[in-house]
Amino acid sequence: MTPVEHAFSENGALANAISGFSPRQAQTDMAIEVAQAINNQSSLIVEAGTGTGKTFAYLIPALIANQQAAEKEEPQRKIIVSTGTKNLQEQLFHKDLPLIKKSLATQAQVALLKGRANYLCVYRLEQYQQSRGQLDAQTLADFVKVREWANTTNTGDTGELVNVMENSPVFPFVTSTVDNCLAKDCPNFEDCYLIKAREKAIDADLVVVNHHLFFADMALKDTGFGELIPKADVMIFDEAHQIADIASEYFGDAFSTRQLLDLCTDVIQIYKTSLTDVKQLGKAAEKLLKASQEFRLLFNYDPERGNWREKHHQKRFGEAFAALKVDLDFLYQVIKLCISRNEAIDNCFERAVSLLAQYDIMADVDALGMSFWYETTPRHVVLHKTPLSVADKFSDYVKESGAGWIFTSATLAVNGKFEHFAEHLGLKGASHLLLESPFDYAVQSQLVVPRYLPEANDKNRANVLANMAIPLIEASEGACFMLFTSYRVMHQVAELLSELIDNPLLVQGQMGKRKLLDEFIEHKKSVLLATASFWEGIDVRGDNLTCVIIDKLPFASPDDPLLQARSEDVKRRGGEPFAQIQLPQAVIALKQGVGRLIRDVEDKGIMVICDNRLVNKPYGEVFLNSLPSMTRTRNIEQAVSFLQNMKNRD
């Protein structure tokens, strides 16, 4: 028996340290394969169904490999674990790792590293201390809390600030961005929390990061960074289904009016506090600030994504974009006259130079192999240039690294195959492993595809959905998620349900995501209506969630500019865009949504997918073959009985 097998055995380290631990074959199989990939420095892709225990199945072999190297006095294996979100990072670092370290009795040094926006910037805190009169009352109140906390924190991790809302406007004033960080020129460099956290990560045996941070490091998108990954021997990606899109983002370029606004705000601040003699500074910054706000106003009010190449060719957008360049160039010229007067203005000069370069990239919309697209937020526009594929770049990196690469998630395979995932990342020679969930889906759940549903674009659809949901909500006594593919339909259904049922209705956007979930769990009879961000990473167990209704198959909008560009590219190569891109993407998204229902061996419930295409289109089979094997029905009454029986047994 290998040390890894032994750790997972009946008398192994986990059984000794964790009460109630019992060996699970799928978990042990995964751990053995992970250990091999680490030893052979090869790549492994594992789909581990919900409940397999994949976190332990990758952490244990990685830490054992590190331990063995230490015992043989060989160079220690440095491990990077990358997760999908900050919450998962924290759970892994604060919950799973201490347990595993204890069970293996390892002395491995572990570190948690978050993105720079999560660390207090001592320099900016001091700067804004001088000008807090400019902050509004709420921001000022939060600023006072941050300042008090700053006197006591050891880590500078803003996650400790529980009494300040995550989206408080104070954070841009007290954290840094790649643009405004003074790095080695910073007078507070020695006390910088971000630098300290990075140094700790460099020295640790195992570092927990998130995908955004990983790819920022890999693509060298953050100054003074880029040292972590080249030193690692083992890379592990959990929630790996997300990484192709995140990698594209970091291997591409972006230019946002937010960056312009931040630059203007900082220049105005410098003019008011230190370079008061250079009046042109204030004027040039105000002018650019106005131009970037006017540029945003050209786009629709509601946030949207669209084709920047097309927009750029339209006269009014082309002209407004050209006007931005004139004002940015003017600000650059004025800042240039102030170079060397202080570090802050030198930093602004570098940012203006870099923004001019980024501007030119976004103006060259005819570049090949790239998608040019934009997205808007209520206040800003971000222009993106995204490579159509990251496969070549990523696979070169994997080959050159000489490391073991492990990719895992509960949703990687489509119709039992991994081609879609592997091709996107250029992982041609990687081994695969597909591990079924240990849950008994046929007993624990039922899949309902209701009959007589209107077409996906039928005007009466919201009405039909709301009325169809009522008996299910009654039978499940709330404890129901309704997951939508569009905000519009979500709001229409919410409005209708508010008239038709008495259950508390929680609608995405009413409050922050975490708060909304807390409310859902606290008010047992509630119904939660949400879109994309609730399809993933939500873990509500037991009676708290017994019914999940999905409004339709989650195909990406055909208007999505990135999808359009990728589809054209596939067509040019003689491929089938629907089969190669849209279908696999939608299958993975649906698997994620369906994965919200059964989270534990004791869980039970019904999964309703309101889309006839699942049963009357040939590609419906691909979806069905990719989902867990739930019993199926088209009859709402049967689903109602299933829920009633469940409740009666309770």
* CA 305 – CA 101 distance, rounded (Å): 45
Nearer to ligand SF4, 35 or 121 (CB): 121
189 scored as a contact of ligand SF4 (CB under 6 A)? yes
Q: Is-contact 249 386, C-beta < 8 A?
A: yes
Nearer to ligand SF4, 9 or 188 (CB): 188
Shortest distance (Å) from residue 207 CB to ligand SF4: 19
Smallest Cα–Cα separation from 303: which of 200, 388, 379?
379
3-class DSSP state of 248: helix
Structure tokens at 395: 């696979």
Q: Is-contact 619 450, C-beta < 8 A?
A: no
Question: Distance between terminal CA atoms of the chain?
Answer: 43
183 scored as a contact of ligand SF4 (CB under 6 A)? yes
* CA 256 – CA 308 distance, rounded (Å): 13
Site map for ligand SF4, 45-84, x if CB under 6 A?
----------------------------------------
The beta strands (E) that lie in 508-591 are given as 527-530, 547-550
Bridge partners (DSSP) listed for residue 306: 374
188 scored as a contact of ligand SF4 (CB under 6 A)? yes
* CA 223 – CA 217 distance, rounded (Å): 9
Say which DSSP state 441 is in: H
* CA 647 – CA 557 distance, rounded (Å): 38
Nearer to ligand SF4, 149 or 418 (CB): 149
Q: DSSP of 336-378, one letter per residue?
A: HHTTTS-HHHHHHHHHHHHHHHHHHHHH-TT-TTEEEEEEE-S
* CA 127 – CA 134 distance, rounded (Å): 12
Q: Is-contact 509 531, C-beta < 8 A?
A: no
348 scored as a contact of ligand SF4 (CB under 6 A)? no
Nearer to ligand SF4, 197 or 587 (CB): 197
Choose the stretch contacting ligand SF4; rule: CB under 6 A; options: 100-108, 118-126, 369-377, 626-634: 118-126
Nearer to ligand SF4, 347 or 386 (CB): 347
Bridge partners (DSSP) listed for residue 46: 408, 433
Choose the stretch contacting ligand SF4; rule: CB under 6 A; options: 187-195, 280-288, 297-305, 516-524: 187-195
112 scored as a contact of ligand SF4 (CB under 6 A)? no
Smallest Cα–Cα separation from 4: which of 62, 43, 53?
62
Nearer to ligand SF4, 198 or 312 (CB): 198
200 scored as a contact of ligand SF4 (CB under 6 A)? no
Nearer to ligand SF4, 124 or 241 (CB): 124
* CA 111 – CA 257 distance, rounded (Å): 34
Nearer to ligand SF4, 185 or 319 (CB): 185
Q: Which run of H or E residues covers position 63?
A: helix 54-71
Give the dihedral sign, CA 17/22/23/27. Answer: negative
Can you state the angle between helices 279-297 and 315-337, rounded to 10 degrees? Answer: 160
Structure tokens at 581: 């891109």
* CA 319 – CA 294 distance, rounded (Å): 12
Shortest distance (Å) from residue 317 CB to ligand SF4: 35
Nearer to ligand SF4, 50 or 176 (CB): 176
Choose the stretch contacting ligand SF4; rule: CB under 6 A; options: 115-123, 292-300, 319-327, 359-367: 115-123
192 scored as a contact of ligand SF4 (CB under 6 A)? yes
Choose the stretch contacting ligand SF4; rule: CB under 6 A; options: 116-124, 162-170, 348-356, 466-474: 116-124
Binding-site member from 182, 201, 370, 453 for ligand SF4 (CB under 6 A): 182
Choose the stretch contacting ligand SF4; rule: CB under 6 A; options: 14-22, 186-194, 520-528, 550-558: 186-194
Nearer to ligand SF4, 192 or 482 (CB): 192
Nearer to ligand SF4, 195 or 288 (CB): 195
186 scored as a contact of ligand SF4 (CB under 6 A)? yes
43-48 sheet: strands from edge to edge: 110-112, 206-210, 79-83, 234-237, 404-409, 43-48, 431-435
Nearer to ligand SF4, 245 or 343 (CB): 343
List % helix, strand, coil for the chain (3-state, nearest 5).
55, 15, 35
Q: Binding to ligand SF4 (CB under 6 A): which residues in 119-178?
A: 121-124, 176
3-class DSSP state of 612: coil
Site map for ligand SF4, 531-570, x if CB under 6 A?
----------------------------------------
Nearer to ligand SF4, 38 or 113 (CB): 113
194 scored as a contact of ligand SF4 (CB under 6 A)? yes
320 to 294, 328, 356, 402, 593: CA distances (angstroms): 8, 12, 15, 48, 41
Shortest distance (Å) from residue 412 CB to ligand SF4: 36
Shortest distance (Å) from residue 152 CB to ligand SF4: 18
Shortest distance (Å) from residue 172 CB to ligand SF4: 13
* CA 625 – CA 76 distance, rounded (Å): 43
Nearer to ligand SF4, 197 or 505 (CB): 197
Choose the stretch contacting ligand SF4; rule: CB under 6 A; options: 51-59, 92-100, 185-193, 611-619: 185-193
Choose the stretch contacting ligand SF4; rule: CB under 6 A; options: 180-188, 285-293, 312-320, 437-445: 180-188
181 scored as a contact of ligand SF4 (CB under 6 A)? yes
- Count of chain residues binding ligand SF4 (CB under 6 A): 14
Question: At CA 378, angle to CA 118 and CA 331, rounded to 5?
Answer: 75
Q: Is-contact 23 10, C-beta < 8 A?
A: yes
Shortest distance (Å) from residue 458 CB to ligand SF4: 53
Residues that bind ligand SF4 (CB under 6 A): 121-124, 176, 181-183, 186, 188-189, 192, 194-195
